[in-house]
Structure 1
Amino acid sequence: MDDGQDPIKDLEKGFDVVVMGTGLTETILSGVMSVQGKRVLHIDSNSYYGGEGASLKMSQIYEKFRGDGSKPPAGLDKDRDWNIDLIPKFLMAGGELARILRQLKQVQDNVQFQQIAGSYVFRGSGGGFFGLGGSGVHKVPSTALEAAKSNLIGIMEKGRLKSFLESVAAYDDAKGPQHQGMNLEKDSMKSVYDKFSLEEPTRDFVGHAMALYSDDSYLELPARQTFNKIKLYAGSVAMYGKSPYIYPLYGLGELPSAFTRLSAVHGGTYMLNTEVLDFEHADDGKVSGVKIKFENPRKDGEYVDLVVKTGRVLASPNYVAEGKKKKRTGQQVVRAICVLNHPVKGTDNSDSGQIIIPQSEANRKNDIYIAVISSAHNVCPKGYWIAIVSTIVETQNPQHELKAGFELLEPIEET
């Protein structure tokens, strides 16, 4: 807002669109509409941008998850050094989201991406007949050549995996599901594995570390989707080498922040720490205004209730009554943010990586994921790593379900 204007009077003029929530979807829409010349008000009940996709300072992490007034310990208390994601997500380099973001000038000008150093899978036992791998973290092979060199699998299995990956590489989805005597729209993935005589551990890392399925339900589904997922993985690795993943410097929160800046440059108005109280409706039932509560910018400590007139509202589900009252169904995810002062064992001292513990290795129905980043991505001070462990909740003791991940990361400085 212009410092010469009364901010409240400016709000009373109304807006073409009111956007609620500053996640990536909301900020992209806000940015696009501002560029189109619409008068946009963008509000968020949080004190930070990004919603669930935000990257927070260490003090904000303590405030959000501990809420008892505790402060970060010495060595972790310099906020300027920390950008910690609430939800870990690496972008597949060849995936649709990365492709779209690379085409947007606002992202090109404001966000830099860094490659994630490696993609790994945990193996709790040896790699089959004459296997060289043993227990521990292993790099995931993505091509027939890498499979031939990998110590993740045994000598006898290397040839079978090589044949399988060559078959996947030769598949062209545009030509239909018929491929090398298989009908990938009808044949299950299990039957394809059987055709190539792949062992169970090999099926595990192909399905979970390359195709990125979190459980084994995909085995009974048509193989076409799995072939395409593996091709995407291998193609993404081929773009940059090392791993298929990329990640924005300074954290995932840089993505919504880029579009926030785009909207602001084109006249968008942003208000954090703003509560949505109610919606007003016209006679035809359409939304005509939003009642909000915010601190009076002219008088510290005084709060104002105000109805902002608008003809359109775009909102994250948690801002509307139906979203707030909606009964939680389906799967829940448990996550833990861990601070380390060492690289993860078995990753060759890598500055980053995704590690997957297949469900079969943890005696679970769902995999455990560990996303590791470091100072190379400008998210923490030098000498530290951030590891976020997550999985789908299966029991009444969610934190215990992350135990296998914690053991892999030990010693953990802070969690």
Structure 2
Amino acid sequence: MRVSLIYLLTSVFSLHLSISIFYLFSLSLSRMDQEYDVIVLGTGLKECILSGLLSVDGLKVLHMDRNDYYGGESSSLNLVQLWKRFRGSNTPPENLGASKEYNVDMIPKFMMANGTLVRVLIHANVTKYLNFKAVDGSFVYQKGKIYKVPATDVEALTSTLMGLFEKRRARKFFIYVQDYEETDPKSHEGLDLTKVTAREVISKYGLDDSTVEFIGHAVALHRDDSYLDKPAIDTIKRMKLYAESLARFKGGSPYIYPLYGLGELPQAFARLSAVYGGTYMLNKPECKVEFDENGKAYGVTSEGETAKAKKIVCDPSYLSDKVKKVGRVARAVCIMSHPIPDTNNSHSVQIILPQNQLGRKSDMYVFFCSYAHNVAPKDKYIAIVSTEAETDNPQVELKPGIDLLGTVDETFFEIYDRFEPVNNPLDDNCFVSASYDATTHFESTVADVVAMYSKITGKELDLTVDLSAASAAAEQS
């Protein structure tokens, strides 16, 4: 079903032509050798969000990219582009359908319906450029099978994940989470969640290890088990976000996803930045960051011109000496002609395979979408399996996730390095984003964006939007 957030995400249309016309007009009036408040390098999703937010704040922004397209690593590819990237050919087989009907995300991620990214979209007022659709299901892998993720007391009672007595214990725990209010001591049941650990809170309800596993990894969306020995407040907030997002549109999952794929998001924020005076320049070779004698960045040079700015924002590829490698992501992109078995014929789902179920150090994720979200032709489906790489063999490493898919028409494998910044922006005026992780949801990605915004501006991003009022208005419209 189409989500009621569409009251806020009003119109569906392709941005490509209108953006191109707008930018061509903008660039015809602009020169690079000027002074700006901020120069942003790279048009990945993080950089485009920041460019839009900073422009709305009234800063003079120049946004550059060495590529001739938007999206960077988070771009969406049509079938010809996908084939060229992975097979070195421009001629995919005809039986897969029209190339232009594919929009395959290279960094696939769903959004929590009540999450931070949705709040950023509303805060920045880019929702008028986009349209979203609910994701059909959220599943977890356990003992060789996949199960619907229960997130409320009612779902706990009907879940096939647990036995009868465990269902009752889980139900009590979910009721505690749903009723918990940080400002209401009566709902705390004598527990200070800023001091007691998640392990201590969970043990109070006597939950089995298997129940703790799906709660921690598939509901709270932790990527490993270190959360168990940290203050419980973070886990409870994550669980409440999941349940609130699930209830927002009464669908089968807490997630939403844009029609035509995530490639629409960078363009929407790019359009926002341009509307507020931001200047965009694509296909700019080299984009060399310039530093003074004190090691502080003061501008960017390309094609003999230098644009000056007080701050430089970029992805890791533009300042490789200011980042460190922290891991690798293994990914398989699969084209299919049917839904994933045992998912109720859902056209879009997320499946999380917890690390302990696979004997791994990190979780594995399955992102699944289809023509229902306009990312593939009629009766074609896109499944993307990803994980933090622990070997050099993605074919073997990703096999547990791929085995869940059934028959696959085509599969493309890749491994890419993941980087995080090591510099201090106060010393060099450089604000570098972290690479995208293996998760198939946006919570960690948008957390990086919000943190970078605070470092760049010195203030907190106000995300206090009234989602309830918006949804209520949508229901009546």
TM over 0.5: yes
Question: Match of 1:275?
Answer: 285
Correspondences of 1:36-55 after superposition (within 5 Å)? 40-55=61-76
Q: Say whether residues 1:258 and 2:276 are aligned partners.
A: no
State the shift of 1:373 in Å.
Answer: 1.0
Check whether the contact 1:62–1:72 (CA below 8 A) recurs between aligned residues.
Answer: yes
The residue that corresponds to 1:295 in the other structure is none
Aligned to 1:357: 353
Q: Which of the numbers 155, 159, 184 marks the counterpart of 2:193?
A: 184
Which residue number corresponds to residue 382 of structure 1? 378
CA distance in 1, matches of 2:142, 2:54: 49
State whether residues 291 and 297 of structure 2, in contact with CA within 8 Å, keep that contact through their aligned partners in structure 1.
yes
**2:316 aligned residue:** 318
Residue of structure 2 equivalent to 1:329: 325
Contact 1:59 1:77 in 2 (8 A): no
Contact 2:27/2:280 (8 A) holds in 1:
no
Amino acid at match of 1:210: V
Task: Compute the displacement of 1:137 (Å).
Answer: 1.8
Answer yes or no: is 1:367 the counterpart of 2:363.
Answer: yes
Letter in 2 for 1:370: V
Shift of 1:15: 4.9
2:117 pairs with 1:97: yes
SS at match of 1:11: coil
Query: How far apart are residue 143 of structure 1 and its match?
Result: 0.8
> What is aligned with 2:14?
none
Query: CA 1:277/1:34 → structure 2, altered by over 3 Å: closer, same or farther?
Result: closer
**1:110 equivalenced with 2:166 (yes/no):** no
Aligned to 2:399: 403
Residue of structure 1 in register with 2:221 after alignment: 212
Please say if residues 332 and 392 of structure 1, whose CA atoms lie closer than 8 Å, have aligned partners that are also in contact: yes
Paired residue for 2:107? Answer: 87
Which residue of the other structure, out of 157, 161, 177, is the alignment partner of 1:168?
177
1:147-166 superposed matches below 5 A: 147-166=156-175
In structure 2, the CA distance between the partners of 1:176 and 1:389, relative to structure 1 (3 Å rule), is farther
Q: 1:137 aligns with which of 139, 146, 155?
A: 146
Deviation at 1:12, TM superposition (A): 5.7
Taking the aligned partners of 2:82 and 2:373, their CA distance within structure 1 comes to 18
CA offset at residue 57 of structure 1? Answer: 1.6
1:290-309 mapped onto 2 (5 Å cutoff):
290-292=300-302, 305-309=303-307
| Root-mean-square deviation over aligned CA pairs | 2.9
Q: Which moved more, 1:42-51 or 1:81-90?
A: 42-51
Query: What secondary structure, in the 3-state scheme, does the structure 2 residue paired with 1:205 have?
Result: helix
1-structure distance, mates of 2:112, 2:267: 20
Superposition deviation, residue 29 in structure 1: 4.0
TM-score, length of structure 2 as denominator length: 0.74
- 1:9-88 alignment to 2 at 5 Å? 11=31, 14-16=34-36, 17-32=38-53, 40-66=61-87, 68-69=88-89, 71-76=91-96, 78-88=98-108
Structure with bigger gyration radius? 1
The normalised TM-score by structure 1 is 0.84
Q: Is the 8 A contact 1:40 1:269 kept in 2?
A: yes
Asked if structure 1 preserves the Cα contact closer than 8 Å seen for 2:30 and 2:279, the reply is no
SS of the aligned residue for 1:18 comes to: strand
2:180 and 2:187 in contact (8 A); partners too? no
- Matches of 1:44 and 1:268, distance apart in 2: 14
2:70 maps to a residue whose letter is: Y
How far 1:275 moved relative to its partner?
1.8
The residue type equivalent to 1:262 in the other structure is: L
In structure 1, list runs of 5 or more residues that go unmatched: 125-134, 293-304
Partner of 2:209: 200
Is the alpha carbon distance of 1:313 and 1:349 closer, same or farther for their aligned partners in structure 2, counting shifts above 3 Å? same
| Gap change, CA 1:75 and 1:315, over 3 Å in 2 | farther
Give the drift of 1:39: 5.9
Q: Is the 8 A contact 1:123 1:137 kept in 2?
A: yes
Q: Is the partner of 2:357 in helix, strand or coil? A: coil
Distance 1:4 1:188 in 2: 56
CA distance in 1, matches of 2:298, 2:225: 48
* 1:310 counterpart letter in structure 2: K
Deviation at 1:60?
2.0
The residue type paired with residue 77 of structure 2 is L
Unmatched tracts of structure 2, length 5 or more:
1-21, 412-477
Alpha-carbon spacing, 1:325–1:169, altered in 2? closer, same or farther (3 Å): same
Mapped pair 1:347 → 2:329: no
Are residues 77 and 14 of structure 1, via their aligned partners in 2, closer, same or farther at CA, if it must alter by over 3 Å? Answer: farther
C-alpha separation in 2, matches of 1:195 and 1:5? 61
Deviation at 1:151, TM superposition (A): 1.6
Structure 2: which amino acid aligns with 1:414? Answer: E
Bigger proportion of residues as helix: 2
In the TM superposition, what is the alpha-carbon distance from 1:201 to its structure 2 partner?
A: 1.4
Deviation at 1:276, TM superposition (A): 2.4
Q: Is the 8 A contact 2:42 2:63 kept in 1?
A: yes
**Mean Cα displacement is larger for which, 283-292 or 17-26?**
283-292
- Structure 2: distance between partners of 1:177 and 1:328: 46
Moved more, 227-236 or 184-193: 184-193
- Residue by residue over 1:200-243, the C-alpha shift from the partner in whole angstroms, topping out at 9 and shown as x without a partner, is 21111111110111222222222221111111111111111221
Residues 54-112 of structure 1: per-residue CA shift (max 9 Å, x gap): 2222222233344x33532223362320111111111111112212212332x221011
Match of residue 235 from structure 1: 244
Cα offset, 1:280, TM superposition: 4.4
User: Quick one: distance in 2 between partners of 1:167 and 1:98?
Assistant: 26
The answer to whether the 8 A contact 1:276-1:290 is kept is no
